[in-house]
Structure 1
Amino acid sequence: MGKRDSKGNPIKGKQEHFTKLIRATMETPAWRALPPTAQVLYIWLKLEWRGPNANNNGKLRLSVRQAADRMGVMRDTAARAFHELQAKGFIVMTERACLGIEGAARSPAFEITELPLPHGQGRAGRKLFWDWRPGQDFPVMRAGANNPEGRNGKAKPCHENQDGTVIKIRTKGKGAS
């Protein structure tokens, strides 16, 4: 039970946040095939869900860096955990990550298939992991390269690498003739 004030009312402010794991989900072959890091990541993703009243499923955002920090692992390990959850049908990427205007980045958005979507597709989620079989992974959406054609993140070659005439400008200073 949460803390209460002198009148017995719950104290507003930072309240406990919890999530539940459903045993039927944990007994599926897909869950048992997940590595422990992916199982932990699933819990962290479910903690991003706001509940049925303020359903944000499909818009859950957790970056690889945030996940790695929360789980205490390296970024590559966290990225592999995201891929494993997608491959087994526990999550689906609904929106890719992007680097917005002035560098305001947005991490990818995910849907947890166990949970219902907010726009009324029934009371239960799609539960894609029930259909998973060994060797039949679901497609994984990977983050695209920032600029696959450019060098060092630039679409055009650097100025000093361009061929052509270079105009040298000389200013007259003191003592110049």
Structure 2
Amino acid sequence: MSSRDDRGRGRNSVEHFTTSIRHTMEEPAWRSLSSAAQALYVWIKLEWRGNNANNNGKIRLSVRQAAAKMGVRPDTAAAAFRDLQRKGFIVQTEHACLGVEGEAKSSAYEITELKMPGAERDGRKLYREWQPGKDFPVIAASPNNPSGANGRKTKPHHENRDGAVPKTVTKMRSLS
């Protein structure tokens, strides 16, 4: 009995792959993407579980995870996420958050090329509507506690690193 199936794969191996659709790659929006964004798109599609366990709209991949997978700095990965959103390839469906237990959840995304769970029609394919100079909006992360403690911004404090550092004067002891 052979250890390979009829396709030449190992019987016990679990392969994970995604398809790159040529029609998508020939769109003007794809050609205008940075090479980092094109590479990131493949990694995001690898997070999709397929039609049977469709998780489109709830696909999670953090900037740090993407940077590690792509072998780039987190700033480059973050710029690639924004580029994909601007061109309509992905849409953010949930913001990143820090849970009550301190466990962080990255943002969730929809791949517009793919069908959403429960939908009867194919994906929205927003990238087909993209035109140079007419980018889609990018949802930016909101700062934590932007207005200060309890909703009121107080005067700058040195320990918060949000103001000028006061000079400290000390008296020198005379050696006797």
Shorter-chain TM-score range: 0.7 to 0.9
Which amino acid is the alignment partner of residue 89 of structure 2? F
Q: Any unmatched runs of 5+ in structure 2?
A: 160-176
Aligned to 1:11: 11
Displacement of 1:60 in angstroms is: 0.2
- Dislocated runs of 4+, deviation >3 Å: 155-158
Whether 1:133 aligns to 2:126 is no
Aligned to 1:175: none
Distance 2:85 2:49 in 1: 21
Distance 1:94 1:105 in 2: 16
Q: Structure 1 vs Structure 2: percent identity of aligned residues? A: 62
Distance 1:129 1:140 in 2: 14
Which amino acid is the alignment partner of residue 139 of structure 2? M
Distance 2:101 2:28 in 1: 44
Q: Any unmatched runs of 5+ in structure 1?
A: 161-177
Can you list the C-alpha shifts for 1:113-162, whole angstroms capped at 9, x where unaligned? 0000002241x1000000000000000001111121237xxx8898x9xx
Distance 2:106 2:120 in 1: 25
Aligned to 1:43: 42
What pairs with 1:129-168 in structure 2 (closer than 5 Å)? 129-150=127-148
Computing the radius of gyration over CA atoms, which structure comes out larger, 1 or 2? 1
CA RMSD for the aligned pairs?
2.4
Distance 2:144 2:38 in 1: 29
Displacement of 1:11 in angstroms is: 3.5
Which amino acid is the alignment partner of residue 149 of structure 1? S
Query: How many matched pairs?
Result: 150
What pairs with 1:84-95 in structure 2 (closer than 5 Å)? 84-95=83-94
SS for the counterpart of 1:78 is helix
SS for the counterpart of 1:102 is coil
